[in-house]
Amino acid sequence: MFNLYPLFSSSSGNMYLIETEDTNILVDIGVTYKKVKDALNTLNKDTSDIDAIFITHEHSDHIKGLNMFIKNNPTIPIYASKGTSAYLKNSLINSKIEFNNIIELCEPKFINIKDLNITYFNISHDAIDPVGYKISHGDKSITIATDLGTITNDVYSYLEESSLPVIESNYDKNMLLAGKYPFEVKRRISGPYGHLSNEDSGQVILKLAQNGIRNFLLSHVSENNNVPDLAKETICSTLSLAGFNVNEFNINIASKDFSTEVYEL
Ligand SMILES: [Zn+2]
Ligand SMILES: [Zn+2]
């Protein structure tokens, strides 16, 4: 068993649960602690069943529930990059919450949590020290690449190796341009340290398709500058125009609201 639950995925909160027979890990915890507990309870799990949490970066839609989680579960390890873990420790000092469980990711770039192997890689985003993760179990793997303005060759190599790439499809270019955000915010989102547009994810998915990958999960779809159907349509038309039969693909979209939808690898 190797399952991915994209429990929450949007600009208002992100949290993934990865489950095997023996192990449960979370990637990000960007919703309130109550929502975390309720989501796990729905799956007949409790916070004490979590073996570790891996944080991508410090934006609130990725860490909202973290302080309360640590306060209530002080021994469950929290992994984060060097810069992110320093930031988290600082914010915990300010909140007067005891912490001994924040572990800085360092070389070599992988770690084993029971039957899971987790590799981290740097991503291009306007956070302190953001990372993505490739999570492997046996010969299967999930790569989570969300909140990034550019797909570097390094990020691409992790996506290319995975059975299920999870790629953000954050905004539609026209909706962002025509939308109500101030110019500076629009520039930030569409810049090299912002987010991927539907067109950007279409291009990377096309490249991955040319390398034989057929399963994709689109994530972190903006509530203001995108519509799930439009994201999927853009990606499917990119594939069709390049001569692919889209019926041969599984392209799913992670729900922005709490969902128990599961992807079995
Ligand atoms: Zn985010
Ligand atoms: Zn972010």
Segment 17-28, tens digit of pLDDT = 999 999 999 999
Q: Which domain holds residue 246?
A: 2-264
Distance, in Å, from the CA atom of 161 to the CA atom of 100, rounded to the nearest integer, reads 34
Percent of the chain with pLDDT over 70: 100
With 90 as the cut, is the pLDDT of residue 256 above it?
no
Between the CA of 147 and the centroid of ligand 2 the distance, in Å, is 5
20 Cα to the center of ligand 2, angstroms? 27
42 pLDDT above the threshold of 90: yes
pLDDT tens-digit profile of 150-177?
999 999 999 999 999 999 999 999 999 9
Q: Ligand 2 center to residue 169 CA distance, Å?
A: 13
Ligand with smallest separation from the Cα of 171: 1
* CA atoms of 158 and 191, how far apart (whole Å): 22
Mean pLDDT of the chain: 96
d(CA 90, CA 249): 44
Cα Dmax for the chain: 57
The model's confidence at residue 178, banded by pLDDT at 50, 70 and 90, is: very high
- Residue 247 structure tokens: 């019926």
Q: Which amino acid is at 217?
A: L
Q: What is the domain count for the chain?
A: 1
Q: What are φ and ψ of residue 69, in 5° steps?
A: -60, -45
pLDDT tens digits, residue range 132-142?
999 999 999 99
- Which CATH number does the domain housing residue 174 bear? 3.60.15.10
Ligand 2 mean position, distance from CA 23 (Å) = 27
Q: What pLDDT is recorded for position 39?
A: 97
pLDDT at 20: 98
Which ligand ends up closest to the CA of 57? 2
Is pTM, for the whole model, over 0.95?
yes
| DSSP states along 2-71 | EEEEEEEEETTEEEEEEEESS-EEEE---S-HHHHHHHHHHTT--GGG--EEE----SHHHHTTHHHHHH
Q: In this predicted model, what pLDDT tens digit does every residue of 78-89 receive, in sequence order?
A: 999 999 999 999
Per-residue pLDDT of 187-214, as tens digits, reads 999 999 999 999 999 999 999 999 999 9
Provide the pLDDT for residue 99.
Answer: 85
Ligand nearest to the CA of 13: 1
Q: Where are the alpha helices (DSSP H) in the chain?
A: 33-42, 60-63, 66-72, 82-94, 153-160, 173-178, 183-190, 198-210, 228-241
Residue 15 CA to ligand 1 centre (angstroms): 10
Q: How does pLDDT run across 55-100, given as a tens digit for each residue?
A: 999 999 999 999 999 999 999 999 999 999 999 999 998 888 888 8
pLDDT band for 108, please (50, 70, 90 cuts).
Answer: confident
How far is ligand 1, taken at its centre, from the CA of residue 223, in Å?
A: 12
Please give the distance, rounded to the nearest whole angstrom, from the Cα atom of residue 196 to the centre of ligand 1: 11
Distance 37 CA to ligand 2 centre (A): 23
Ligand with the closest atom to the CA of 8 = 1
pLDDT at 107 over 90: no
Give the DSSP H or E segment for 121.
strand 116-122
Given a cut of 90, is residue 249 above it in pLDDT? yes
Give the ligand with the smallest distance to the CA of 193. 2
| pLDDT tens figures, 223-233 | 999 999 999 99
What confidence score (pLDDT) does residue 98 get? 86
